[in-house]
Amino acid sequence: MYVDDELQTRMVRWRHHFHQFPETGFNEHRTADYVAGVLELLGPEVYRGIGGTGLVASLRAGDGPGVIGLRADMDALAMTETAQDRPHASRNAGCMHGCGHDGHMAMVLGAAQLLAQQPDFNGTVRFIFQPAEEHGRGAAAMIEDGLFGRFPVDEIYGAHNIPGMPVGHIATRVGGIMASEDNFVIRIHGRGGHAARPHMAADSLVIAAEIILALQTIVARSVDPGEPAVVSCTEIFSDGIRNAIPSNVTIKGDTRSYSPEVQALLERRMRELCHGICSAHGAQCEVEYTREFAPTVNWPQCVPVAAAAAVAVVGQDKVDADVRPMMISEDFGAFLKVVPGAFVFIGNGAAGSPGGVPLHNGTYDFNDSVLPIGARYFVELVRQRLPSQASTSDA
């Protein structure tokens, strides 16, 4: 289906509006209002307040029983945009669309308009706009609020832009495509003292340094080399000052993996190392370990559908149906634990080109030239999974 100049302009306008007025997870009130307003003008029935600020719009054509879900995420990041010279820069201080959810919404809205204007499919399409993806809470909130009971789907599909991948390229794979994310907080309690008399203290900072290094041995020496896993310490705080050894140090970070067995191994070894090292130094610790994101595992029967839709839009030579999995995480994995579906990556721009700035960077921006590609991809999914009687008879 062709995206004309009018729709291209409209999608860019939608995207820039979202970018200018970003909202963090479960606070997407203005965003949800705007999305609902666009959808209501297009004709689908819109249902709001699902899982907090989430919404669903249903569009039906013909009498087919099939139902397909198309998902977009709505939330932004609590970070400052550092490219203030762009006309559509964030107007909400300390908040920006640094992951491209503004573009994801615009692509699905573009697909909604194309399907509403030319409903050449037979069945029902659910346009699902999810809150709070960034912290892995929105999908579960929608599911717990009866998403798939009230709005059942046979399959669900989603996409994420990827800087570093050329525009016009789409990639997916069967099985795990994105990792789980677990968060940890390690609180070390030693004995503070004068910096000149370390023998009278149990130095929590030195203990923390030893723990940080020891945690890197978990993947290197405890995890099967054939299993992907990452342990990252990302923050450290203490109650010390220039001339005082701290009593308390806190380490924060996350782990990434693909299987429940590896998740359990990472947590067990972390607890063993932390308690063992602290005990050896006469200190104590607490380890808080929480599971935030499920791995995103594509269903085998849905990946060929996603790949075929991608080929129809961008051509065989620009589709990778067996891309290497990434260690980033996506809340879409929670949906795939409940219903069949598949997730794809859409190129946002090669490194050094427009759209090549990494995700979660203060100068990142979604590449507007990707919008028609994404909209057409979602439309093609619907056409393939819910073929109209006319297209079936033609075949």
- CATH classification of the domain holding 248: 3.30.70.360
Do 326 and 179 form a contact (C-beta atoms < 8 A)?
yes
Q: In terms of Cα–Cα distance, which of 86, 85, 81 is closest to 12? A: 86
Residues 45 and 135 in one domain: yes
Partners of residue 57 on adjacent β-strands: 46, 127
Do 351 and 240 sit in the same domain of this protein? no
Quick one: 169 and 35 in the same domain?
Answer: yes
Rounded to 5 degrees, what are φ and ψ at 215?
A: -60, -25
Residue-number span of the structural domain to which 106 is assigned? 5-179+295-394
133 catalytic per annotation: yes
Q: What is the pLDDT of residue 84?
A: 84
Examine the residue annotation and report whether 322 is marked as an active-site residue of this protein: no
Are residues 345 and 383 located together in one domain of the fold?
yes
Answer yes or no: do 244 and 383 share one domain: no
Structural domains counted in the chain: 2
In this structure, what token pair is assigned to residue 31? 């965003």
Same domain, 300 and 208: no
pLDDT tens-digit profile, the chain (395 residues)? 678 999 999 999 999 999 999 999 999 999 999 999 999 999 999 999 999 999 999 999 999 999 999 999 999 999 999 998 999 999 999 999 999 999 999 999 999 999 999 999 999 999 999 999 999 999 999 999 999 999 999 999 999 999 999 999 999 999 999 999 999 999 999 999 999 999 999 999 999 999 999 999 999 999 999 999 999 999 999 999 999 999 999 999 999 999 999 999 999 999 999 999 999 999 999 999 999 999 999 999 999 999 999 999 999 999 999 999 999 999 999 999 999 999 999 999 999 999 999 999 999 999 999 999 999 999 999 999 999 876 554 54
Q: Are residues 190 and 222 in the same domain?
A: yes
Which of these is catalytic: 23, 28, 73, 75?
75
pLDDT of 99: 98
Whether residue 253 sits in one domain with residue 214: yes
**Same domain flag for 191 and 305:** no
For residue 2, give the nearest of 273, 372, 339 by alpha carbon. 372
Same domain, 203 and 269: yes
Residues annotated in the binding site for Mn(2+), as ranges? 99, 101, 134, 160, 360
| Known binding residues | 99, 101, 134, 160, 360
CATH of the domain at 9: 3.40.630.10
Please tell me the pTM assigned to this model: 0.93
Task: Determine which one of 23, 73, 102, 133 is catalytic.
Answer: 133
Q: Which two tokens stand for residue 77?
A: 């990041």
Which of the listed residues 293, 318, 347 is the one where a domain comes to its end?
293
Last residue of a domain, one of 229, 263, 293: 293
Check whether residue 13 and residue 132 sit in a common domain: yes
The answer to whether residues 331 and 222 belong to one domain is: no
For position 320, what pLDDT does the model report?
Answer: 98
Rg (CA), the chain: 24
From 268, 293, 318, give the residue that closes a domain.
Answer: 293
